[in-house]
Chain A
């Protein structure tokens, strides 16, 4: 059980770090697809199958395509110019901040006695039970998410639309 977790962690962290270090935006986007697929594998490992497939559908399928569209729509010139780390100081400060946060978090995790529950492998929650949860106690939140997605879609279209000048009246 634990070797699978280490393998998943290796794929996940390796592709995420490579994506953040890459100088080519296309490579970054494709490596992030690998990281998201690794996260879906973690969800499968943890027994949350529905979330794993939602992760594949939403991130590996949809968000990666939106990211690739944005990369292609915003590239400058015909050449695939490398995206440099244009400020050495900024990079150092970012790495120091992230390392500090990592130190604090890892110290807190190592120093906290986390009691895990007695039953080591709970039965994976079925999609039927999940649907009952969503339509029962969380129905209002589900409606709000529907409204949120509609508003976000309309907002994205309006923000990204080309605001051409009005045609002169004939």
Chain B
């Protein structure tokens, strides 16, 4: 098994841990953290393919990961602001309690 496959297996397991957390927990913050883990797994894939790919000198994978980190930071900020807004209206952070659009 070559190192690229090891990296991809690591990334898959990280993705599945994030997926299990996002599906099985009902706390909104934990769901958001699970989604962050899935995003990180995708970044890990980019770096692995950049490292073992044929065009490592161009650095396209690194540039893509930098943009993905920027977008993930924006997503985390907006998502946690939404969590706080929902908590203010519902007094709860459970997903089951936020089931209507009209606040």
Contact = CB atoms under 8 A, between A and B. Distances in A.
B74 A152 contact: yes
A31 to B, nearest CB: 10
Given A13-B13, A156-B81, A160-B85, A19 B62 contact: no
Determine the main DSSP class of B at the interface with A. helix
A127 to B, nearest CB: 10
B78 A83 contact: no
A51 B22 CA distance: 26
A50 B62 contact: yes
A85 B24 contact: yes
B8 A28 contact: no
B6 A2 contact: yes
B29 to A, nearest CB: 6
Given A105-B16, A148-B70, A122 B56 contact: yes
A63 to B, nearest CB: 5
Contacts of B93: 74
Interface residues of B, number: 74
A25 B14 contact: no
B6 to A, nearest CB: 6
B67 A145 contact: yes
B65 A51 contact: yes
Interface string A1-16: 1100100010011001
Contacts of A160: 81, 84-85
Interface in B1-52: 2-10, 12-27, 29-30, 33-34, 36-37, 40, 43-44, 47-48, 50-52
B20 A20 contact: yes
A80 interface: no
Majority SS at the chain A contact face: helix
A149 B75 CA distance: 9
A148 B71 contact: yes
Contact of A102 (B12, B72, B78): B12
B30 to A, nearest CB: 6
Interface of B: 2-10, 12-27, 29-30, 33-34, 36-37, 40, 43-44, 47-48, 50-54, 56-63, 65-67, 69-78, 80-85, 87-88, 91-94
List the 7 closest pairs (A to B, CB-CB), nearest first: A94-B24, A94-B23, A20-B21, A152-B74, A98-B20, A122-B56, A156-B81
Given A51-B43, A117-B53, 6 more contacts: A12-B10, A16-B37, A17-B17, A105-B16, A109-B5, A156-B78
21 contacts: A2-B6, A13-B17, A48-B61, A48-B62, A51-B66, A54-B69, A70-B83, A74-B87, A74-B93, A83-B30, A85-B25, A95-B24, A98-B16, A101-B15, A116-B3, A130-B63, A145-B71, A157-B81, A159-B81, A159-B82, A160-B81
